[in-house]
Homo-oligomer: A and B are copies of this chain.
Amino acid sequence: MSGSGNLMDFLDEPFPDVGTYEDFHTIDWLREKSRDTDRHRKITSKSKESIWEFIKSLLDAWSGWVVMLLIGLLAGTLAGVIDLAVDWMTDLKEGVCLSAFWYSHEQCCWTSNETTFEDRDKCPLWQKWSELLVNQSEGASAYILNYLMYILWALLFAFLAVSLVRVFAPYACGSGIPEIKTILSGFIIRGYLGKWTLLIKTVTLVLVVSSGLSLGKEGPLVHVACCCGNFFSSLFSKYSKNEGKRREVLSAAAAAGVSVAFGAPIGGVLFSLEEVSYYFPLKTLWRSFFAALVAAFTLRSINPFGNSRLVLFYVEYHTPWYMAELFPFILLGVFGGLWGTLFIRCNIAWCRRRKTTKLGKYPVLEVIAVTAITAIVAYPNPYTRRSTSELISELFNDCGALESSQLCDYINDPNMTRPVDDIPDRPAGVGVYTAMWQLALALIFKIIITIFTFGMKIPSGLFIPSMAVGAMAGRMVGIGVEQLAYHHHDWIIFRNWCRPGADCVTPGLYAMVGAAACLGGVTRMTVSLVVIMFELTGGLEYIVPLMAAAVTSKWVADAFGKEGIYEAHIHLNGYPFLDVKDEFTHRTLATDVMRPRRGEPPLSVLTQDSMTVEDVETLIKETDYNGFPVVVSRDSERLIGFAQRRELILAIKNARQRQEGIVSDSVMYFTEEPPELPANSPQPLKLRRVLNLSPFTVTDHTPMETVVDIFRKLGLRQCLVTRSGRLLGIITKKDVLRHMAQMANQDPESIMFN
């Protein structure tokens, strides 16, 4: 322990565990960054020594790309497997394939070559449960049997899922995005991105989606991708030993997750940039893009949708939109904003109730009950019985000539000889009217059940249910406008663009706009939302309607409360998340926030050369601060540096074991030279190597808005407050968060400990 006393000594890692963090603690971004630079410097200087070291340095430089490639491959594969499994298990609720029970309905009927696409429903190899069990395919008893089987399977899946989550990986529940945001902002939650979470979340995700609950797999896929990122980054010391670098990989993994969820690589990168990430340097942007692309192409080569399409909802519209349609689009935006507000308020209220009342003690029962209600209500209505993504797909679709869906049951003009993709507006048939009723009921049901579903102890995403709500509302508005335009094409608003025989309104586009609006209202995404939707449609043509709806929905929702669902859940759980988007506009100064406050005992400090080992050990035992400022003496209180608690403990332990003559009465000194001591005093202990000589300081007059900015941009853990060199107090990230909560009239005690 004869440290030469400069800052770089830490990096020789004289004792283990230096540079790691405890669970539920915040990392120090600046320190992580400088540790990485040191590592890089060491490798660069070594690489000139021998060819082997040079190759090692090249491998190190490439490891970032390798990690991205691996993440892309694994995330894409997992997404593909999940899609296939969900497909099979969703169909299993209705029936089974005789030729091979692991085939889904569609695969089953493909392999039995005798049927064409139109005869899909009559494919003999696929048997409904009633056909298989009692050999009946029609009639009331068959219906009831199928109904019961549907409910039973749903309950079985849900029960399995919630049990697996409870027993093996409690962190696998929820969408994961609030926690990932918190982790990326520099918080440590051990095991949240672990291998067990990865495995259990993947399996239970399949189960819950198949069970027909009102949830999506998109959010959890981001969590799954981040688990992959965490796994691969643990294989490379560059990332496993540096929490800052690891977070760069996780940001990219989140992009890959959205990329496979929607088949939208650019949207995924922007989602990671806008919504999830905290520290996003440009190098990460480029690598995220790479990971997102690899993931998307891996998924495509697995081809789970059987159509070689990259995107989840492929749509192709044949008619442009017209200026007058902006009005219904903006209305849909308003609806989306209102839905977002309603959903966030109700869901947070319900989740708070779950946290505080007895309800939270029976998570399995809760899941079973919600699943039972969902299955019972959903089965009779064709729009809720099928999987939600199929529903959205159908709602987005334009009615072509070959479309057999109920939604496309228009009354055709018998004299029509137009090409198939340019069908004029037609009067609605009976099917459309029935569909409207069913859609309205499905909409109400979805709105209510989603509020209770999101937040249960199972993996659950929000994107798909939100989009479904919007798509249903949008499609209904679209059909309404279409029929209005058909029957009243002489009205002024229609006269200019909607002559009889023209194809002027595309209800599918309204569904899409509605979906964007609702998703925007709930998540408050902006650019990434529009870009994801743009990648789905593949044309700039429809970007203006989407943007109008997204902007409106965000404005409307923001008027009722600035928080999106993820921020709301972060606050509910009290994670120490310092949002980059929140603007701090109060006039407080650093002196108002720093501790000790007036009347509190003075700050626990170390002096540079007058405390004994025992004094320090007592101080460490009696307090639980993460570190202590070091001052010249208690009288002058001039700041010298900052010592981390963890490193102090390790250094003292080490010295007591290894260094001779160190006893409880030994004086500890942080200066270069030992202090002058009486002749018979024990050997002093030099601790300069654990002293950070460049702690971050602000003056007591610094406005808090600047302090918040510094904490955000530099990712600090704590900051010392001085006035003309004299130490006055300390501000930690937790103090900043508490102060912000206080200023926003929230409970400052809700912030989790860091």
Contact = CB atoms under 8 A, between A and B. Distances in A.
Interface of A: 7-8, 30, 33-34, 37, 40-41, 44, 265-266, 269, 274, 281-283, 285-286, 289-290, 293, 296-297, 310, 526-527, 530-531, 534-535, 538-540, 543-544, 547, 551, 580-581, 583, 585, 587, 590, 632, 638-641, 693-695, 697-699, 701-703, 705-706, 709-710, 713-714, 722, 724-726
11 contacts: A34-B705, A37-B585, A41-B587, A293-B543, A632-B724, A638-B724, A639-B724, A639-B725, A694-B703, A714-B714, A724-B725
Q: Which of A30, A266, A547 has the most CB of B within 10 A?
A: A266
A289 B713 contact: no
Nearest to A715: B713
Contacts of A713: 713-714
B705 A701 contact: no
Given A37-B583, A44-B585, A538-B539, 13 more contacts: A8-B587, A34-B705, A37-B705, A266-B534, A293-B547, A693-B702, A694-B703, A694-B706, A695-B699, A710-B714, A713-B713, A724-B725, A725-B725
Contacts of A33: 705, 709
Q: Quick one: copies of this chain in the complex?
A: 2
A297 B544 contact: yes
Nearest to A38: B587
B310 A40 contact: no
A33 B707 CA distance: 12
A706 B34 contact: yes
Given A7-B703, A695-B699, A714 B709 contact: yes
A353 to B, nearest CB: 33
Nearest to A727: B725
B640 A724 contact: yes
Interface centre among A8, A282, A641, by most chain B C-beta atoms within 10 angstroms, is A282
B701 A693 contact: yes
A320 to B, nearest CB: 10
Contacts of A269: 527
Given A527-B286, A714-B713, A701 B37 contact: no
A286 B525 CA distance: 10
A265 B693 CA distance: 48
A282 B40 CA distance: 31
A530 B705 contact: no
Contacts of A30: 706, 709
Nearest to A274: B282
B709 A702 contact: no
A544 B726 CA distance: 59
A709 to B, nearest CB: 7
Contacts of A526: 285-286, 289
Contacts of A274: 282, 285
